[in-house]
Amino acid sequence: MVSKVLLGFTAKDEKRGILGGEPYYLPLGHTVITGMTNLSGKTTTVEAILRRSAKAKSLVVLTKRGEKTFPDVKRIPPYYKERFDWEYVRGLLEAAMREKLKFETPWIMRISKQVQLAPVEQRNLSTWHKNLKQMLTRAELREFDRNIYTLLDGYMDKVTPILDQARQRLATKLELQEGLNVMDLTEWYQQEAFQMVLIGSCMDHILEVENGTRVAMPEAWKMLPQGRNTPVKLRFEKYIREGATNENFLIIDAQDLGGVDKEPLRQVSLWIMGKMMQADEVKRLMKQTFKANIDVEEFQTLKLGHFIIANGIDNTVTKVYVWPWDVPEQMAKDVAIGKLSPDVVKEWLIERQISPGPPQELVLRLEEVEKEAYQVWPRA
């Protein structure tokens, strides 16, 4: 198992007299990657880390429509593990309601205890919802209790029908192969609470049985909202606190951390920060992660693929150009030292997806973009 991954090359920094081009190795640890979508290169950074951790198991979860991440990697089926305990159900309901439950917990606990008494094969979320509906049929039920159960029933209607419809297509075992594993949940893009149910199942499995596994998790503002619970919030906290013992690390990809719960993020040791325009967000991150002679303007003017890395393991702050996967090494070095525009690399990657033909054809295409003559770069 490798302890570091070649992430890219140090970026040229005239202000500090850094020429750039030196290899930068990222230690393995819980990692946050943040920056503006399409302008920073977060997805490319996640791919670089996971692809170069080839001997480790990696799980990438896709949640947004239109994501084109890892098109050449085989998908694994969505995995679900039954749970019905009151903590889990409360988080599920809060995710569906998009607000914090105030006093409904005793009613949730009452239903969960009933499910615990059911036959083993019936101890699941669907039985929980059926018991709730049966409770509503009782004539002796007080009006106050009926109102609480009616509220809970309304929000459970957002989750259990989807689960019942999808159950036949959900895997009951999570089988992760060495290298990249991609789980596509974009089918349920509009059902965020259900996506969280599946993500939580994966995190439970990895914590219980896996070693040396990386999990790339997008949309942190949805999963870890400030001020309310979700079905995976406690899982994130547990994963961050306990996962490193077995070299199970989390990669959190987020455009904006303003609405993200900061408690679990305090345990994250690696911060990879790309282009950001909002000054208050930059100042908040700098206060939380490191104290260095880096001003707001440096974050606002970072080019595509360039990141400021606050490394809490080595106690360093470094400006780095991330070497995209399947891009020639010399090309990445030339971008890092300022000899080549990062837009040329973007063009290269687009052309590779459209027509993965002989490199010479791509070089001629790139010469038009950069208006410079370049040698035929070898493949990465």
Alpha helices in 243-341 (DSSP H): 262-265, 279-289, 296-300, 329-336
**DSSP conformation class of 104:** -
190 in Cβ contact with 127 (< 8 Å): no
Query: What pLDDT does 375 receive?
Result: 46
Arithmetic mean of pLDDT over the chain: 83
User: What percent of the chain clears pLDDT 70, i.e. is strictly above it?
Assistant: 89
Query: What pLDDT does 292 receive?
Result: 62
290 in Cβ contact with 310 (< 8 Å): yes
Max mean pLDDT among 14-18, 86-90, 169-173 falls in 169-173
In the predicted structure, residue 210 carries a pLDDT above the cut 60: yes
Q: What is the pLDDT of residues 42-57, one digit of tens each?
A: 888 999 999 888 678 9
Question: Token pair 């991440």 is at which residue?
Answer: 69
Query: What pLDDT does 262 receive?
Result: 79
Query: What pLDDT does 112 receive?
Result: 92
Higher-confidence residue of 358 and 286: namely: 286
Report the run of H or E that residue 270 belongs to, with start and end. Answer: strand 270-273
Helix, coil or strand: residue 211:
coil
Closest CA to 156 of 135, 137, 136, 133: 133
Q: What is the pLDDT of residues 234-262, one digit of tens each?
A: 788 888 888 888 999 999 888 777 778 87
In the predicted structure, residue 38 carries a pLDDT above the cut 50: yes
The Cβ-side half-sphere exposure at 196, using a 13 Å CA radius, reads 29
Alpha helices in the chain (DSSP H): 42-51, 86-97, 105-116, 125-136, 143-156, 160-166, 192-209, 220-223, 233-242, 262-265, 279-289, 296-300, 329-336, 342-354, 359-370
Of the candidate ranges 71-85, 296-310, 347-361, the one whose mean pLDDT is the lowest? 347-361
